[in-house]
Amino acid sequence: MEDHPFSGKVGDRITLHITDVAFGGEGVGRHEGFVVFVPFVITGETVLAEIEEIHRQYARARLVEIIDPATSRVEPQCPQYTVCGGCQYQHMAYDQQLVVKHKQVCDLFERIGGQRPDRVRPVVACPTPYAYRNRIMVRTQFNRETRSMNVGYLRHQSRLVVDVESCPIAEPELNERLQDVRKDPPRKNGIKFTLRAMPEDWALPPDSFFQVNFHQLPQMIQVVAERLHSAGVQHLIDAYCGVGFFSLSLADKVQRFTGVEVDKRAIEAARKNAETMGHENGTFIEGTTEAHIQDLVDAYDPSQTAVILDPPRKGCHPSILEVLIQAKPKQIIYVSCHPATLSRDIKTLCESGCFEVHQIIPLDMFPQTQHVECVTDIRLKQS
């Protein structure tokens, strides 16, 4: 058996120069040529780190000390930062977070999707980098040391719950409700529950999907509307439509639209939202996108049709992409919070020879965290 290429062992402390911040939030350094990942650092910093895991091609370490800090390093607003697993970038000035996310999106689209980095526009900044989350998942766990119930989030790289008195990235309304829960916590161990602020002017069932950042929604709709307008289409298919956020926000931009969603209560809410908003130029269908996509694309002239895809993090089922490749709609607007699966699906569409990427627009829907939303404008190639 070959000797491990890393000369150190778990528990060793090493000095690292950080050369990058990888997708997922960990900094990248090298020790004797061997890749070491360490969290809560910034490109250009020199740090002291302690090895915690050694694998065949990389090691992981915990941050011990910042030897030479970056000028963009700031004081985190959360006292539980680095302990709680919710945020990865509070130690970075917000402008630096946007730079990091832009580079990560460029790297992923080039490496996985085969796209040129110049297709990626600058990240659209969030007007409220803190106090923006309208939904949080809170857990309980009995703390044997304090003989009390921890109420909060999972710890960084752990299944243990860290006690959280207040969350700086949550809407103030949710922090008020969190205080109520903490005053009278559930008595059972291992309970998890969602605290949620509901959007104004939208019918939304308690468990149905809605974007987690109300403050960034105007920018998101503006981006999608601009891309839709530039394609000059008349018909819109809104796949994975939820309560109709995209199709109803864009209803006055097209002649007809159809939304499809598997969540029965969400579809009922979408129909109610359409009635409330006075939009009569579209319909909503209950069911999976896989089951209905063929009928939807057959119903409209493809040369005048745009398809919005906003799937779960796992991306689109291959059968959906195959139907779109065969149907050849003029435009596909793919919205995703997971650039890796988005890049994979874009590669499938573009390798068909039918489509090409016009623009990739990242939006910072999740400041202080590793996550980033992308709106990708994909067009049918001109013959």
What is the per-residue DSSP string for 75-113?
Answer: --S-TTBTTBSS-S-TTB-HHHHHHHHHHHHHHHHHHTT
Classify the phi-psi angles of 340: left when phi > 0, otherwise alpha if psi is within -120 to 50, otherwise beta.
alpha
Q: Which residues contact 278 (CB under 8 A, 6 or more apart)?
A: none
* CA atoms of 364 and 100, how far apart (whole Å): 11
The secondary structure of residue 177, as a DSSP letter, is H
Q: Is 337 a catalytic residue?
A: yes
**CA 333, 335, 336, 339 torsion-angle sign:** positive
How many CB atoms within 10 Å of residue 276? Answer: 12
Tokens 């130029």 locate to: 281
Could you say which of 87, 241, 337, 354 is catalytic? 337
Which residue from 212, 221, 215 is spatially nearest to 361, judged by alpha carbons? Answer: 221
Active-site positions read 337
